[in-house]
Amino acid sequence: MFYIIINPTARSGKGMKIWQELRKELDDKQVEYRYYYTAKDRKAGTIVKCILNKDKGTVNLILLGGDGTVNETVNGIAAAGDKCFSRLKLCYIPTGSASDLARALELPDDPLKSLKRILAAGDGQMSWMDGEPPARERRTDLGLLTYNEAEREDMNGHRRYFIVSAGIGFDAAVCAEVARSRLKKFFNKLGLGGLVYGFICLKGLLTAPKADCNIYMDGKRVYPARDCILVAVMNHKYQGGGVMFAPEADSTDGELDLCFTDRINRRRVLFVFPKAYSGDHVGTKGICIDRSSEVRITSSQMLYVHTDGEVTTRAMDISARCLAGKLRLLV
């Protein structure tokens, strides 16, 4: 039996249309399932927590949404109890406007194909007949971010999980603006939601605040990044709708990849940023790449912080660590 959580507003309402197509396939195959819709007052995290509290066995969860919906779900699993990670299998069918998780995992663009692969994992004959191989379980790392000194006092000591990336500075400020941008809805209707990030990035590069940051890696190394625009903490290669900040990131290696700037002027950033879509920014002076299982970032001023594109506050001291193989993911 499958539990299914649907974000009906994903991709400007197309999430509901996609679900209706998949529901027909489930009914035709006589698959047993229960489904739930997310809403402003009923997010994916709340739903999955309720499911885990009621069902004490192995939970097969199919999630239809974007990176934000996945983030809510992962944090909902954690809220239900740390042991719940071991008894939940997450099956992800991307329906968001620009899913960096789907891009990194190389998931099919066709939601129906993804569903058939998931069903084949439970019954090998069911979807082999349709020409689709079964999805396979993989243990993937999760990141855990802690707000050590935040602008909102109630956030001090607060922890939040992330599956794709986290960041402080420019990239988080862009996420905050994208979330409230009317452009996102317009471009989503055209199927070009990922472009919103790029447009707002170019605008923000001219105004993003710079700060002096100290980056502590594995509790030993300290990197002083001066006039720093951003520090991206990556579990996967992409964020922001296809920007390849960390070309070598591997979500199964037990480490987080870092991309940050050091003493780079705005004109050079404008030149380098487009290269990040292909990963060619690596090696450019002022762009630093590193890897660590634990990292702490302190800033000389309050900067926006995000986890998987979700922004809740600004901070000037955060920590992140990698939780190796924490999530059971069916891909």
Asked whether residue 211 carries a pLDDT value surpassing 50, the answer given is: yes
Cα dihedral 87, 93, 94, 95, rounded to 10, equals -120
What pLDDT, in 10s, does the model give residues 276-325? 999 999 999 999 999 999 999 999 999 999 999 899 999 999 999 999 99
Query: Residues near 190 by Cβ (< 8 Å), separated by ≥ 6?
Result: none
Asked whether residue 152 carries a pLDDT value surpassing 80, the answer given is: yes
**What phi and psi values does residue 23 have, to the nearest 5 degrees?**
-60, -40
| CB 243, CB 236: distance < 8 Å | no
Asked whether residue 129 carries a pLDDT value surpassing 70, the answer given is: no
CATH topology of domain 141-325: Tumour Suppressor Smad4 (2.60.200)
pLDDT at 14: 81
Asked whether residue 187 carries a pLDDT value surpassing 90, the answer given is: no
Percentage of the residues of the chain whose pLDDT score is greater than 90: 69
The CATH number corresponding to 2-135 among 3.40.50.10330, 3.20.20.105, 3.40.50.300, 3.90.1150.10 equals 3.40.50.10330
Secondary structure element (H or E) that encloses residue 244, with its range: none
Asked whether residue 65 carries a pLDDT value surpassing 80, the answer given is: yes
CB atoms within 10 A of CB 84: 19
List the chain domain ranges: 2-135, 141-325
User: How far is the C-alpha of 47 from the C-alpha of 41, rounded, in Å?
Assistant: 11
User: How far is the C-alpha of 19 from the C-alpha of 7, rounded, in Å?
Assistant: 9
Asked whether residue 154 carries a pLDDT value surpassing 80, the answer given is: yes
What pLDDT, in 10s, does the model give residues 20-39? 999 999 999 999 999 999 99
Average pLDDT over residues 139-157: 97
pLDDT at 270: 83
| pTM confidence score | 0.90
Average pLDDT over residues 192-217: 77
Cα dihedral 288, 291, 295, 300, rounded to 10, equals 0
Parallel, antiparallel, or unpaired: how do β-strands 165-169 and 294-307 relate?
antiparallel
Average pLDDT over residues 244-250: 96
Which residue has better confidence, 181 or 176?
Answer: 176
pLDDT at 245: 95
Average pLDDT over residues 240-247: 90
Secondary structure element (H or E) that encloses residue 70, with its range: helix 67-80
pLDDT at 125: 45
pLDDT at 183: 59
Beta bridge partners of 90: 61, 329
User: b or e along 149-184 (b: 16 or more beta carbons within 10 Å of the residue's beta carbon)?
Assistant: ebbeeebeeeebbbbbbbbbbbbbbbbbbbeebeeb
pLDDT at 320: 98
pLDDT at 329: 95
pLDDT at 124: 44
